[in-house]
Amino acid sequence: MEVDRANSSLFTTEIEQAAPPKRFSTPSFTCFKGDSDPESHLKHFKSVMILHKVEDALMCKVLAMTLLGAAQDCFYTLPFGSISSFKERAYVFTKEYTSYQTIKKNPDHLFNLHKKSDESLRDYIKRFKAERAKIVGCDDQVASSAFKRGLPTECELYGELTISPCQTLVEVFATAEHYALWDDDRIAAKKAAKQADQLAEQASQRNGNNKDEGKRRSQPEGGTPATESYTKFTILIHQILAQGRDMPWLKKPSPLKGNPAKKDTSRYCA
């Protein structure tokens, strides 16, 4: 049964029997799997097939060639001989995937866009342009006002656009690009300064670690510094000797026997 459906034509006899133009070569397409916006796929398809848009039968057949997966399976559930024109096929195609259609935004949506505090001016410009591209027929004056409204009041570009309000959208974006170059330079300078500070801090930490290591090496294995301990007196040593000379507990040494000059000094400490 599935083989019979695959072999049966979903196009009318006129569409089915129409021959493709001579030397026609199938272009490359982004295939549609049924999980994205069908209108976006149709726009892509029409753009690629713009030279053959008058060939209604060819447009019908080639559109079917761009389907994959669930979208291809859904295509073969259509009644036999039900496709008689590309306009009809495009209508059925978009209706089948209504849930995947992108909600169209109006120009007022642009006033919800604001430059983030951690966002570069260049990134804000790119994000704004991307959102504006999603709005069909967006008025340039509205877009210009929304772009300026999204800038912080302290931003230099905001001041420039306020001083020169009579600019077209093209001029606004051109001015913004010039300020984006300035902003890029400032971001690069801040990044370089931050890296330099980090390197200096790392070098300082290494120097501190080296000093600590030198101190540890100068200490004995016990971990406490080697110091010499001396008894501290409150009076001079000769005064102590003078005061203790007449004390009964102090015994004077016996006088040396013999001639001190003839003693063998090698047997005693010098």
pLDDT digits (tens, 9 = 90+) for 26-55: 889 889 988 888 888 999 999 999 988 888
Report the predicted TM-score, pTM, of the whole model to 2 decimal places.
0.46
| Domains of the chain from N-terminus onward | 2-100 (no CATH), 107-198 (1.10.1200)
Mean pLDDT of 75-84: 87
Mean pLDDT of 216-222: 61
Lowest-confidence region among 117-126, 170-179, 211-220: 211-220
**pLDDT, tens digit, for every residue of 176-200?**
999 999 999 988 898 888 888 888 8
Structure tokens at 217: 């090496």
According to the model, what pLDDT value does residue 53 have?
Answer: 82
According to the model, what pLDDT value does residue 66 have?
Answer: 92
Between 104 and 20, where is the model more confident? 20
Q: Provide, rounded to the nearest whole percent, the portion of the chain with pLDDT above 90.
A: 30
Q: Which of 87, 103, 100 is nearest to 34 (CA)?
A: 100
Is the Cβ–Cβ distance between 115 and 121 less than 8 Å? yes
Structure tokens at 187: 């971001």
Q: Which of 46, 34, 45, 33 is nearest to 99 (CA)?
A: 34
End-to-end Cα distance, the chain: 125
According to the model, what pLDDT value does residue 1 have?
Answer: 46
**pLDDT, tens digit, for every residue of 139-171?**
999 999 999 999 999 999 999 999 987 788 999
Q: Is 128 left (phi over 0), alpha (psi -120 to 50) or beta?
A: alpha
How big is the chain by its Cα radius of gyration, in Å?
A: 47
According to the model, what pLDDT value does residue 97 have?
Answer: 78
Lowest-confidence region among 94-98, 109-113, 168-172, 235-239: 235-239
